[in-house]
Structure formats: structure tokens, C-alpha cells
A and B are shown apart, each in its own frame.
Chain A
Amino acid sequence: DQQVKQNSPSLSVQEGRISILNCDYTNSMFDYFLWYKKYPAEGPTFLISISSIKDKNEDGRFTVFLNKSAKHLSLHIVPSQPGDSAVYFCAASSLIGSSNTGKLIFGQGTTLQVKP
């Protein structure tokens, strides 16, 4: 049972335009969400996160939106740059009480290609 899903395996955008990566989750116990970026043969690096008490968090060119009722989050990158080309993973966890094990549940990843 895939609790965190990224239904688009790949996305291609032109440099300077907006990239929108989507993620859906099924477990209503999740209350903290993160996006990671990964280059080939390297470990993922943390990009941005959002708590379930918010619906938006912004950090420079990166903005994450959370729609709890739809169990959906998205990552917006504006403007997109060729260096943003990588695999993006969304992840979820629960910080509530005994559910707070610290482990993250990851989606399958979306490969973003930003063309010059």
C-alpha cells in the first residue's frame, strides 16, 4: 500500500517557467511533509518542508502548498533553472505521540528536466 504517491514519473519545463510537482498521500495521521532533491548516485538533500498547521511555505524560488482536505501537496519552482534538473521526492511523517518514530515515508519520485 503506497501511502505517499507521486503519479508523474517525469516533468519537462523550459528554463524560466514554473515547475509544479505533485504528491498525494492517504494516511490522515501524516502531519509533516518534506521535499527532497536527488542527483544520480548521490544522497537526497532536503529542500523544504511544511507542517499540517500551514497551507503554504516559501523559501526563495521554492514554495510548497498543502491541501489537507484533498491530502495533496505540491512543490512550485519559479523560475526553473537547468540546475534544478533532478529527481524530486516528497515525504511524509507523523509527529503525533507514539507515531513520532522519526521515519519518513517517501513517494516514488518525479524526474524534473529543465531545458535551457
Chain B
Amino acid sequence: DGGITQSPKYLFRKEGQNVTLSCEQNLNHDAMYWYRQDPGQGLRLIYYSQIVNDFQKGDIAEGYSVSREKKESFPLTVTSAQKNPTAFYLCASSGDRGSGANVLTFGAGSRLTVL
């Protein structure tokens, strides 16, 4: 079954620690995205990558970092510089935009709680 796997599903972090959230896809999609969900604010874009070895900041990139060394993988690091890291993090991917479709497929999410 093709899909997106996020891990861990739940993560607790002490203040001042960096944590890395994993995102792996086997859909052969070129583009991958990280969103953050907070109550009442919908999904906000953190970073996205349209191709391997390239990525761009989204609307709320401060305090986060990413890498895209492989097509299948797009890990997100939440650094100690992120002031309010407690949230539900969603990874997504999308295929060929040339077809006119811009449908993102999402993983199941990772909930990060800062203690």
C-alpha cells in the first residue's frame, strides 16, 4: 500500500531540546510538505520541497529546519528556537502538478508536546 508514514505519533520534549519528526513516502511523489495544526488556526505551512536537495520556507518556518536528501524522505527538526512547538504536525506529498491536480496526500500526523 502506498502512503505516507510519520513517526513518532506522539513525542514529548523538554524545553531547549531539538527533536526530529520523520516523514517517509512511497508514492514516488516529487513534492513534500510540512504543516502545523493548532486549534482554531487550521493548517499552516512550515516548509515545502518540490524536488530533492531543494526546499523553501513556508509561512511559519522560524524555529524549524528540514532536509531533502532523498525523494522518499523529508524530516522536520523542531529546534529550541521555536517558541511554541506544542502542536500536531502533518506531512504531505503531491505528485505531478502538470496534470492540473494539486491534491496533497497526508500522513497520520505527529503530536509534539513540550513539557
Contacts and interface: CB of A to CB of B under 8 A. Distances in A.
B105 A103 contact: no
Interface residues of B, number: 31
- Chain B contact residues, majority secondary structure: strand
> Interface size class for chain A?
20 to 34
A51 B102 CA distance: 10
Contacts of A34: 102-103
Contacts of B33: 102-104
Interface stretch (B13-21, B36-44, B60-68, B75-83): B36-44
Contacts of A81: none
Nearest to B29: A102
Contacts of B92: 43
B2 to A, nearest CB: 14
A106 B42 contact: yes
Given A45-B106, A105-B45, 6 more contacts: A42-B109, A89-B43, A100-B102, A102-B50, A102-B97, A107-B42
Interface of B: 4, 6, 31, 33, 35, 40-45, 48, 50, 56, 58, 88, 90, 92, 94, 97, 100-109, 111
